[in-house]
Structure 1
């Protein structure tokens, strides 16, 4: 009995999702889920997004189950009043009674529609800080089988979004802007096609569908004020995007909306510990940041970065992460150099093709560790083969 309890405790510790590093957490979803209809309110939608950010696609959660801390869950929603537990129970009840995704998948002659209840089970106790969340099996392919057509965005961008519409718009805009960054760096699209991703257009009919407002705010000025203006204001105020839009008429009616997306410069972090004001600490920190920037700059110019992009093992979004790129340059690319010496550049290409084909979904949370482990396991085999050939 005690051994079972220990095993369960260890499993819970492994799958417990911490919000302490919220700035580093990412959400990855299939584009079919991004363009689906979320039949739920803001709070259930944010609970779902928070739970998705806990999934490690390299090691999918056992029984589709993750664990959250109550304290950190309330912190994510900025809830600190005495009624927070009651409000949490209400949100969970509402999510399980009403919330579902209506997913549209393109088929030969049109669309195939699926209705999926994303989180059928949430469990907690009144004496423990842990909240168990279990995903439905039907939703998992949209969260872990991400070979192509997926979108990645920062969990921190969702924290301050207080409207269901702003969350949905932000995800749709991220889907388009990610493609702009991808093709702008990699090529493979005409200039006007690339620009179309940064300035995406959507019909009002389709926008009403994905925001679940087909039967709401039927008068366009009401729709614009409640959905468009309020959503874009929140996105501009609280996310990494600056967005404007223009209305396109067809006859006397507004037929479609064209969005214009730009990325904000990386903001300076003003929150630091008092001891970090020490001149020696600041100098060490500056040296470290300078070294990271130099390594990241080299990585951006490296032929290996392009190979990772070609094999969808790296996204343009991840290329904006200085620490990640510096890690690749410092810990992974030297090993690729070793392989190149042994097998040539084509040998590196073959290795990355194999890595992508072998692993259906890799970890979006620590790609450096994942790629380093893959090449470290492969290099001894190559060296052993060369010795045997000699």
Structure 2
């Protein structure tokens, strides 16, 4: 592992959510320079030192024109690059415009590059006691667009909070879910990416600022990310991301070998495996598994994944049970048909999160509420109420009460017995 791959970047969250008025090259130079700061021992006079060799490695530059390209990148950064930072101070919003690196010095006869940060940017880079985010410099190194870098930093900020509070145990599960399934308004994404006046058509915006950057992030960083569009009327109002972390090579963890020899760890691991097998067995006999198969949200191949099935049984099926108590099994199936018809391109690590988020949102929406007897039935929507009998919205699931017939119950019992016998 080379020196760059070991480095971390640490920045205040206000800087991460600020407007970066620069293209990818100045932004990457800034990230590389920040990775050289020792927050425990801040640089004297705000000066750090890089090498030209390191810069060329970071940008993967090897052609004969690299020196002139480096000079052009530096000039562009100092002429154009700045951050617009917004901070809430109790009285209102405070705005700052900061040129992050006003001074750079290098020669044509040695390798050293001197970089001096603007004093006003330093509070966002050192003495970070709270509201800061750390991420791998190697992730940023492999991203090739400004939007990829900005989105990656924001997603890191969200997921870091998920990991922090998961380990600390000071947040409810619903709050943890919000960190790894964060929602943000399109208008806020436009501000962060400086595209308020660009890509006016939502299809163009989605392609340039969401789809292509997320393809890069999924390919080159530690994250797997998918997203869905949240509509308000006919307009796409918000984007919800679903973030999961890729499994890391075990040898990168310096504590791995020592931990593997710890009896307490080994016992805990064994207990977890036993519990996972039990959950897997339950999932294989669940009618919700059958319903997921019928709606093509699961495949027979997926059912061989013990971890996936155990997580469905533990995290998703209890919510389906709550939904079934309100709308019946047919209502659950209609919900799954709706989710399947969205045709979201999720990966298996995200499937559990996505299904869980979808059913939680449906349960919380109020659309499943049972009407009182002898009263006009209404469908609850965001911002308006539609009488049932007028044109029913496509997403509407009728309220079912004790709708399963005796014949259907017998058939369901027969399927359950068959599944049970197969897994004995």
- TM-score, scaled relative to structure 2: 0.60
Return the offset for 1:125: 0.3
Distance 1:244 1:226 in 2: 15
User: Is 2:162 aligned against 1:195?
Assistant: no
Q: Which residue, out of 223, 228, 244, partners 1:262?
A: 244
Q: What root-mean-square deviation, in Å, do the aligned CA atoms of Structure 1 and Structure 2 show?
A: 2.3
* Alignment correspondent of 2:44: 62
Q: Which residue, out of 184, 193, 209, partners 1:227?
A: 209
Return the offset for 1:192: 0.7
Structure 1 pair 99/127, CA: closer, same or farther in 2 (3 Å)? Answer: same
- In the TM superposition, 1:235-246 aligns within 5 A as 235-246=217-228
- In the TM superposition, 1:1-390 aligns within 5 A as 20-267=2-249, 290-291=257-258, 293-294=260-261
Return the offset for 1:110: 3.0
- Partner of 2:125: helix, strand, or coil? helix
Aligned length in residues: 266
Distance 2:222 2:38 in 1: 23
Distance 1:147 1:31 in 2: 12
**Per-residue CA shift, 1:341-363, capped at 9, x if unaligned?**
xxxxxxxxxxxxxxxxxxxxxxx
Distance 2:111 2:262 in 1: 41
Return the offset for 1:233: 0.3
Distance 1:226 1:267 in 2: 32
Distance 1:154 1:288 in 2: 19
Unaligned runs of 5+ in 2: 269-424
**Matched-pair contact (CA < 8 Å) for 2:250–2:256:** no
Distance 2:40 2:15 in 1: 20
**Matched-pair contact (CA < 8 Å) for 2:86–2:94:** yes
Distance 1:87 1:154 in 2: 25
Return the offset for 1:85: 0.7
* Alignment correspondent of 2:305: none
Distance 1:139 1:294 in 2: 45
Return the offset for 1:59: 0.7
Return the offset for 1:107: 2.3
- Partner of 1:208: helix, strand, or coil? helix
Distance 1:153 1:296 in 2: 32
Distance 2:264 2:97 in 1: 45
Return the offset for 1:20: 3.4
Return the offset for 1:294: 4.0
- TM-score, scaled relative to structure 1: 0.65
- Partner of 2:38: helix, strand, or coil? coil
Distance 1:218 1:296 in 2: 59
Higher-helix-fraction structure:
1
- Partner of 1:144: helix, strand, or coil? coil
